[in-house]
Structure 1
Amino acid sequence: MTHSTSHLLNADLHCHSVVSDGTLTPEDLAARAKANGVELWALTDHDEIGGQARALAAAHAQGMKYLTGVEISVTFIGHTVHIVGLGFDVNNAALAQGLRDTRGGRTQRAREMAEGLAKVGIPGAFEGALPYVGNPELISRTHFARFLVESGVCKDTNEVFRKYLTEGKPGYVAHRWATLRDAVTWITQAGGVAVVAHPARYKFTPNEEFALFTEFKGFGGQGVEVVTGSHSAAEYVSYAHTAREFGLAASRGSDFHSPAESHTELGTLPLLNSQLTPVWDLLGSRIQ
């Protein structure tokens, strides 16, 4: 594929399965991606690569090309930032260990969240959230939110987050994640490319955002999600500018989690601007 046309590829390089906090299996996601015309796919579960073999097999069964993927949670200037890794070696020991360490803090955090909810009259939330968890190591706020909706405490997951699970609310417990340097290093040393996920979501000041991209690039990061489910049309333009300013390749991904919850379906985003270097151009030899 020549560089002049590779931006036309329908690539979806950000989505989640039951292996983390999505509601579909890797096989169902692959079928859904294929049905929407996806040609190059990556499953990027949170801090977990346990679904990669299934996702690769499912992609091939559907006739799609595949890139290994993961979304790593990092703490940067007191905020949680997500770094997507693409095209890495799934058997890399340092990456696997780093992800294990990152996941390890989640269960303790979940128990503390449940204690906070119990204090405001919502008992049993830890046990209540567990049936929604595909992987017990990866219990997260999303699972608590689904439990509170299903049990009638709130009408939708947005209401749960607003009332209970954001900073200053009863069920919120901060978690110390990996550092930016850790995540980028794990990915790049495993032969992959590190990408800043959905940068508009972090609500950084211009100075903070400049610091994020400067440090990310300094540690060896090479990409940024420009076209993603949570970005507006104006943000596509703004982060295309960021990609050019910092010399980063551009990525595209729906961040699909669930048919019921996700606003953006797999494979339905606008194509990348032809002035950008698609991240898959850096990963040609890693595409399976």
Structure 2
Amino acid sequence: MVLALTTNENTGLVDLHCHSTASDGILSPAQLVSRAKSQGVTLLALTDHDTVAGLPEARRTGDQLGVSILPGIEFSSHWGRRQVHIIGLNIDPLSTELQEAIALRERLRQERAEQIAERLEKRGFSGALKGARELAGDGVIGRPHFARWLVRAGHVEDSGRAFRRYLGAGKAGDVKVDWPQLADTVDSIRAAGGVAVLAHPLKYGLTRTLLRRLLCEFAEAGGQAVELLSGRQNPVQTRELRQLMVSVAAEAGQPPLHVSLGSDFHQPEQPWRELGCVQLPDGVEPVWNLWEKLRA
């Protein structure tokens, strides 16, 4: 476990899920940390998609501004044939196992980007790959970069329409990827000394039965926490997810998984996903207790 934190990181707001320009966010790592500071966040995990490239800049800015930066990542993975996201918190970014997992996803993302561009070219959108690469910069290429390019090139009015017409589920740019399986992803995170967190479980559109199964299999694979809050969400849904976590744990004869939270921030002007916009309810075991106990 990488204990790279100060003694007062939990004195303000905590946000353990956000994105910078290293993946599909709008703000640079430095800008992201500065915005977190202005929002009262004292502990921030940068969890870019399938990369840790933004961490050095985030840490430098965090040191300057007094924001503790927790090294993190959000891995794309599959649970069966469904795509799910697993966050790694308090990881060692230089871990061999982590770097191998990142390299695999970089290759898969590049292959997907080329296929998306090819499909868009057939629709008459010339220069899609070059445009998306320019917008991604040094970051990993994702569908949001193609969406932004479509807007910049004048093909659609905004990114939402780009997804609805060309990049969303069932559309031309919806290229399926054979991501590593959930258990392998958890193994990569734990091999890097990190805590594996099931990201935004309410966003997968699962029935209660399937969500229960996902929670069970995630715990069996070595997962240690669940993102109870992902941005602002219906309190009833939050309560039901918590109750389901307790029920699953009771059936297994184990304590409930620890609880994480985050804004899933990507860009300004989205108050429902603003940095530091959510706080954990009383009576839950926060994920940071896992490394606090090791420090004691």
Structure 1 consecutive aligned stretches of length 4 or more whose deviation exceeds 3 Å: 6-9, 260-263
Q: Which runs of 5+ in 1 are unaligned?
A: 1-5
Q: In the alignment, residue 62 of structure 2 is paired with which amino acid? A: A
Task: Quickly say closer, same or farther: Cα 1:164–1:239, change in 2 above 3 A.
Answer: same
- Whether contact under 8 Å (1:223, 1:249) holds in the other structure is yes
The residue that corresponds to 2:14 in the other structure is: 11
Structure 1 match to 2:228 = 226
Distance 2:271 2:155 in 1: 21
Residue 93 of structure 1 is matched in structure 2 by 96
Identity %: 39
| 1:72 and 2:72 aligned | no
Q: Cα deviation per residue 1:21-78 (whole Å; 9 max; x = unaligned)?
A: 1121111111100110102111001111122222222222211222110000001122
Q: Which amino acid aligns with 1:258?
A: Q
1:58-137 → structure 2 map (5 Å cutoff): 58-135=61-138
Question: Counterpart in 2 of 1:170?
Answer: 172
* Stretch of structure 1 that moved more, 117-126 or 217-226: 117-126
Task: Measure how far apart 1:7 and its partner are.
Answer: 9.0
What's the counterpart of residue 3 of structure 1?
Answer: none
Residue 267 (structure 2) pairs with residue 264 (structure 1): no
Report the AA paired with residue 17 of structure 1.
S
Per-residue CA distance 1:115-143 (angstroms, 9 max, x = gap) = 2122222222112212210335x211010
Structure-1-length-normalised TM-score: 0.90
Match of 1:46 in 2: 49
**Pair 1:277 & 2:280 matched:** no
Q: Which amino acid aligns with 1:252?
A: L
User: Are the equivalent residues in 2 in contact too, given 1:243–1:250 (CA < 8 A)?
Assistant: no
Per the normalisation by structure 2, the TM-score is 0.88
The 5 A counterparts of 1:153-168 are 153-168=155-170
Alpha-carbon separation, structure 1, partners of 2:114 and 2:63? 39
Structure 2's unaligned 5+ residue stretches are: 1-8, 250-255
Task: Decide whether the 8 Å contact of 1:21 with 1:134 is kept in 2.
Answer: no
Aligned CA-pair RMSD: 2.1
User: 2:44 matched to 1:35?
Assistant: no
Matches of 2:210 and 2:240, distance apart in 1: 16
How far apart, in 2, do the equivalents of 1:98 and 1:239 lie?
A: 29
For the structure 1 residues 108 and 262, does the alpha-carbon distance in structure 2 shift closer, same or farther, using more than 3 Å as the test?
farther
Q: Distance in 1 between matches of 2:219 and 2:183?
A: 10
